[in-house]
């Protein structure tokens, strides 16, 4: 790209109105060429005597600047190169910060990473109060740190505590919150963003300077304003970061170091340290994996999972059958995210009322967290209604069934829905295991039947499995994927087979935890080892979250479909019988009180018929749990359950928290190497039985030295 291609400007009443619009790209990003363009433009503005101030905008309708060009920095192979890239970015922004004429910036749309760092270097920031306007430093999510001065300028602007809160978690905030924090100086309606920003540049050109008072009063001064208070802040942040990252993610600790160093030794030293650390992080394996996930997720946003997807139907009204926890979660999330009209139906009114209350709670939670205004809340609540009959379903373009995992129940609901809805209505089942073609056997319009498997809790879990049967019409697939996306989910289209992708690979893992327990491993120890491996929770805690009754059903279906390697652990049978269903029952493997998880319930060991005696060595516990999952994942890929390794990895990361820094189960298998996995599985199979026998796919890979990803 030639300099001058991305930035253009015109003079308006003594102010140069600069527009950044990277041609041919959906978002503005800061590449090497853009940096040259910015430098050249600012040089011209400096020399032009008619220019007294600068007002900077994006030419993209809904994006300000998405940050540094990620594709550019992933190509770098050495830390020194990456350090130079960061230092060059810093130098450019130092130039902007010390520009002899005042610079105001008008922000509408995503202002992220290097984009926010640019805005922070400007003298005045105006943001539109539009939901699309989001500001943040998500760098640690990519395994790097804000490397263009962000670790220095943000704490100086809003205080160390507030800045660390954003930088260490890679947070992105809505404009209102950014304004409250003091990141932006003025919040305006999008229609006047341009005028207000130009006016600010003019005022500054006439000698006016914004006066900023850091929010937070005495406490803020005590903790941010003096070295002693700051020490307390940094110590607390370090402790929390260590606990959260468990040394698996180096970026947050490095960012903490960059911020602390800069506040202690001054801006210049801080920038130097920031660039050094950026260089080191940018070439780590963790960063590579996290960037791969970013691109995989981005690619999935446009992928309908079928060749030549027809346009999706627009859903205005959604019917939800089943007012339980899942049904209510689907209803509440559909309203909160997609703003559709939702009618919930269940067998009796008390159940419907309970479901409505649970769905509404999702909207109330958004209001409490100030994600929506009172007015928006009232408008959204009005979209929710319920009934003990199918009244109102006649206008639904999509109906999602969320009843018990019982084939007959689901088929009955399908028949009832078909009788009350138009031909074009899509019927989606939220089954987690039952093949869609089995449910569709009861259908008069099997081409309209599909699976939409949400995860619990629906409002928070980011994955959706979309499962067409062999009869499902392509337009129905498009509609399910598009609606899932409107609900804020990452959707993967998977093959219609028991357990689909997630439960297929999760079941052997959970079962193996049962075997280990029976062999004397302690519950907390199994969970601790998997959390250390990088999962958000261990398998036994996960069983308690999912519910033993649900787990038992899932294993039953899988056992029937795939045979002995999915055989349930007999010792678990007593759990359901004695009502130890998990968190929802207040007791499972762990005890629960007041909604909080307490310690392990020792009585469980008796029920399972074992007592903790150390069990297998920690290394073996990890090996068995992980390899049994990788083996099943490889087998499922061989059967075409997921279309690509990318879908499989994104699914496992978003579906149950497979450690993102390992890139997903299939990338992890590639890293270990098929030959090594096969050898270890064979050894395990000899000692523990055929459930460990390595699958064909891994055997072939071992023989041909091939991988899932080329
Ligand atoms: N670098 C390179 N490409 C980027 C990019 C970036 N920073 N941000 C977005 N893109 C690309 C996407 O890959 C996608 O490419 P494609 O069309 O070829 O598939 C295209 O832009 C459109 O992106 P989305 O589909 O994600 O568009 P949305 O409108 O849904 O979302 C967004 C826009 C919110 C900006 C989202 O793309 C996003 O979150 N981007 C990444 C933001 C980020 O992490 N920034 C930090 C970068 S690192 C940095 O700045 C380092 C600095 O401190 C030195």
Q: Is 249 helix (H, G, I), strand (E, B) or coil?
A: coil
Q: What is the pLDDT of residues 473-501, one digit of tens each?
A: 999 999 999 999 999 999 999 999 999 99
Check residue 323 and give its pLDDT. Answer: 97
Q: Whose CA is nearest to atom 12 of ligand 1?
A: 298
| pLDDT range class, residue 550, cuts 50, 70, 90 | confident
Q: Is 20 helix (H, G, I), strand (E, B) or coil?
A: strand
Of ligand 1's atoms, which has the minimum distance to the CA of residue 112?
A: 45
283 CA to middle of ligand 1, Å? 19
Q: What is the dihedral of CA 42, 48, 50, 54, to 10 degrees?
A: 0
Q: What is the pLDDT of residues 173-198, one digit of tens each?
A: 999 999 999 999 999 999 999 999 99
Q: How far is CA 662 from CA 244, 272, 670, in A?
A: 16, 30, 10
Q: Is it true that the peptide bond before 457 is cis, omega within 30 degrees of 0?
A: yes
Mutating to test ligand 1, I would choose from 27, 91, 143 the residue with most ligand atoms within 8 A of its C-beta, which is 27
Distance CA 466, CA 468 (A): 7
Of ligand 1's atoms, which has the minimum distance to the CA of residue 141?
A: 44
Cβ partners under 8 Å of residue 88, min gap 6: 35
pLDDT of 134 above 70: yes
645 CA to middle of ligand 1, Å? 22
Catalytic residues: 465
Other C-beta atoms lying within 10 Å of the C-beta of residue 382? 10
280 CA to middle of ligand 1, Å? 22
Q: What is the pLDDT of residues 139-161, one digit of tens each?
A: 999 999 999 999 999 999 999 99
Q: Whose CA is nearest to atom 40 of ligand 1?
A: 66
187 CA to middle of ligand 1, Å? 24
Q: Whose CA is nearest to atom 37 of ligand 1?
A: 66
Check residue 4 and give its pLDDT. Answer: 53
Distance CA 539, CA 545 (A): 10
Q: Tokens 């978690």: give the residue.
A: 169
Distance CA 417, CA 426 (A): 10
Calculate mean pLDDT across residues 334-348: 97
| pLDDT range class, residue 215, cuts 50, 70, 90 | low
Mutating to test ligand 1, I would choose from 67, 148, 485 the residue with most ligand atoms within 8 A of its C-beta, which is 67
| Lateral strand order in the sheet of 110-112 | 63-65, 110-112, 134-136, 172-174
Mutating to test ligand 1, I would choose from 25, 30, 62, 70 the residue with most ligand atoms within 8 A of its C-beta, which is 70
pLDDT of 169 above 70: yes
112 CA to middle of ligand 1, Å? 9
pLDDT of 379 above 60: yes
Both tokens of 238, joined, read 């370090």
Q: What is the pLDDT of residues 451-462, one digit of tens each?
A: 999 998 999 999
Of ligand 1's atoms, which has the minimum distance to the CA of residue 295?
A: 13
Distance CA 555, CA 588 (A): 17
| pLDDT range class, residue 228, cuts 50, 70, 90 | confident
485 CA to middle of ligand 1, Å? 17
Check residue 1 and give its pLDDT. Answer: 43
Check residue 3 and give its pLDDT. Answer: 47
Of ligand 1's atoms, which has the minimum distance to the CA of residue 66?
A: 35
Of ligand 1's atoms, which has the minimum distance to the CA of residue 146?
A: 53
142 CA to middle of ligand 1, Å? 11
Q: Whose CA is nearest to atom 14 of ligand 1?
A: 298
300 CA to middle of ligand 1, Å? 13
Lowest-pLDDT range, 100-114, 216-230, 373-387? 216-230
| pLDDT range class, residue 405, cuts 50, 70, 90 | confident
What letter does residue 695 receive in the DSSP assignment? P
Q: What is the mean pLDDT of the chain?
A: 95
Of ligand 1's atoms, which has the minimum distance to the CA of residue 142?
A: 44
pLDDT of 286 above 90: yes
279, 83 Cβ separation under 8 angstroms: yes
Q: What is the pLDDT of residues 244-266, one digit of tens each?
A: 888 899 999 999 999 999 999 99
Q: Whose CA is nearest to atom 46 of ligand 1?
A: 113
Mutating to test ligand 1, I would choose from 298, 462, 660 the residue with most ligand atoms within 8 A of its C-beta, which is 298
Both tokens of 294, joined, read 């970013």
Q: Whose CA is nearest to atom 15 of ligand 1?
A: 298
Of ligand 1's atoms, which has the minimum distance to the CA of residue 150?
A: 53
Of ligand 1's atoms, which has the minimum distance to the CA of residue 148?
A: 54
Q: Whose CA is nearest to atom 26 of ligand 1?
A: 298
Report the run of H or E that residue 607 belongs to, with start and end: helix 603-608
Q: What angle do CA 441, 443, 449 make, to 5 degrees?
A: 95
pLDDT of 35 above 50: yes
Calculate mean pLDDT across residues 194-207: 97
113 CA to middle of ligand 1, Å? 10
pLDDT of 430 above 80: yes
Q: What share of the chain in percent tops pLDDT 70?
A: 99
Q: Is 206 helix (H, G, I), strand (E, B) or coil?
A: coil
Both tokens of 274, joined, read 């920031």
Mutating to test ligand 1, I would choose from 66, 90, 112 the residue with most ligand atoms within 8 A of its C-beta, which is 66
Ligand 1 residue neighbourhood (C-beta within 6 Å):
26-27, 29, 63, 66-71, 86, 89, 110, 112-114, 117, 138-139, 142, 146-148, 150, 295, 298-299, 301
66 CA to middle of ligand 1, Å? 5
Cβ partners under 8 Å of residue 199, min gap 6: none
Calculate mean pLDDT across residues 591-619: 90
Q: Whose CA is nearest to atom 48 of ligand 1?
A: 68
| pLDDT range class, residue 410, cuts 50, 70, 90 | very high
């Amino acid at each position: 790209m030639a300099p001058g291609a991305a930035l253009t400007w015109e003079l308006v009443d003594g102010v140069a109105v600069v527009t950044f619009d990277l041609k041919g790209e959906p978002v503005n990003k800061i590449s090497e060429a853009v940096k040259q363009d910015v430098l050249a433009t600012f040089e011209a503005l400096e020399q032009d005597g008619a220019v007294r101030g600068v007002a900077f905008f994006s030419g993209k309708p809904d994006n300000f600047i998405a940050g540094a060009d990620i594709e550019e920095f992933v190509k770098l192979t050495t830390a020194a190169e990456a350090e130079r890239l960061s230092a060059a970015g810093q130098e450019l922004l130092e130039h902007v910060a010390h520009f002899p004429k005042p610079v105001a910036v008008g922000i509408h749309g995503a202002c992220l990473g290097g984009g926010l760092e640019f805005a922070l270097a400007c003298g005045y920031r105006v943001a539109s109060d539009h939901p699309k306007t989001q500001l943040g430093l998500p760098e640690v999510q990519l395994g790097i740190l804000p490397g263009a001065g962000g670790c220095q300028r943000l704490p100086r602007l809003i205080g160390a505590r507030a800045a660390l809160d954003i930088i260490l978690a890679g947070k992105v905030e809505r404009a209102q919150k950014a304004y409250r924090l003091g990141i932006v100086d003025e919040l305006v309606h999008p229609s006047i963003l341009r005028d207000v920003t130009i006016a600010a540049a003019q005022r500054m050109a006439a000698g006016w300077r914004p006066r900023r008072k850091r929010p937070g009063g005495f406490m803020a001064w005590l903790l941010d304003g003096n070295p002693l208070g700051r020490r307390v802040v940094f110590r607390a942040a370090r402790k929390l970061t260590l606990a959260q990252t468990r040394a698996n993610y180096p970026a947050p600790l490095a960012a903490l170091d960059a911020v602390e160093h800069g506040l202690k030794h001054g801006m210049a030293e801080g920038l130097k340290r920031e660039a050094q650390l950026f260089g080191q992080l940018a070439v780590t394996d963790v960063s590579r994996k996290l960037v791969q996930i970013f691109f995989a997720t981005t690619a999935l946003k446009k992928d309908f999972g079928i060749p030549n997807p027809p346009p999706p139907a627009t859903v205005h009204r959604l019917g939800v059958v089943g007012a339980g926890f899942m049904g209510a979660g689907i209803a509440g999330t559909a309203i909160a995210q997609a703003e559709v009209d939702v009618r919930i139906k269940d067998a009796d009114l008390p159940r419907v009322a309970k479901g409505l209350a649970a769905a509404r709670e999702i909207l109330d939670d958004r209001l409490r967290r100030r994600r929506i205004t009172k007015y928006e809340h009232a408008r959204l609540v009005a979209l929710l209604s319920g009934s003990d009959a199918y009244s109102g379903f006649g206008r639904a373009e999509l109906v999602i069934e969320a009843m018990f995992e019982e084939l007959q129940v689901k088929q009955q609901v399908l028949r009832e829905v078909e009788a009350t809805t138009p031909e074009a209505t899509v019927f989606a089942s939220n089954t987690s295991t039952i093949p869609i073609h089995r449910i569709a056997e009861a259908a008069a319009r099997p081409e309209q039947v599909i699976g939409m498997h949400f995860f619990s809790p629906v409002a928070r879990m980011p994955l959706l499995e979309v499962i067409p049967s062999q009869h499902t019409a392509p337009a129905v697939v498009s509609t399910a994927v598009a609606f899932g996306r409107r609900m804020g989910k990452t959707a993967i289209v998977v093959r219609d087979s028991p357990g689909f992708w997630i439960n297929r690979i999760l079941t052997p893992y959970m079962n193996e935890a049962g075997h280990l327990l029976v062999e004397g491993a302690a519950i907390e120890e199994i969970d601790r080892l998997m959390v250390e491996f990088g999962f958000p929770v261990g398998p036994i805690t996960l069983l308690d979250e999912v519910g033993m009754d649900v787990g038992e059903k899932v294993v039953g279906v899988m056992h029937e479909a795939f045979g002995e390697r999915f055989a349930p652990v007999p010792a678990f049978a007593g759990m359901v019988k004695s009502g130890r269903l998990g968190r929802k029952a207040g007791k499972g493997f762990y005890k629960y009180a007041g909604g909080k998880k307490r310690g392990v319930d020792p009585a469980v060991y008796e029920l399972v018929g074992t007592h903790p005696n150390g069990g297998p060595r920690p290394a073996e516990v990890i090996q068995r749990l992980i390899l049994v999952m990788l083996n099943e994942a490889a087998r499922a890929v061989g059967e075409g359950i997921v279309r690509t390794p990318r879908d499989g990895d994104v699914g496992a990361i978003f579906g149950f928290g497979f450690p993102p820094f390992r890139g997903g189960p299939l990338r992890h298998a590639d890293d270990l190497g098929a030959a090594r996995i096969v050898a270890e599985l064979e050894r395990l199979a000899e000692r523990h039985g055929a459930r460990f026998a390595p699958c064909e796919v891994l055997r072939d890979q071992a023989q041909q030295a091939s991988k899932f990803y080329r």
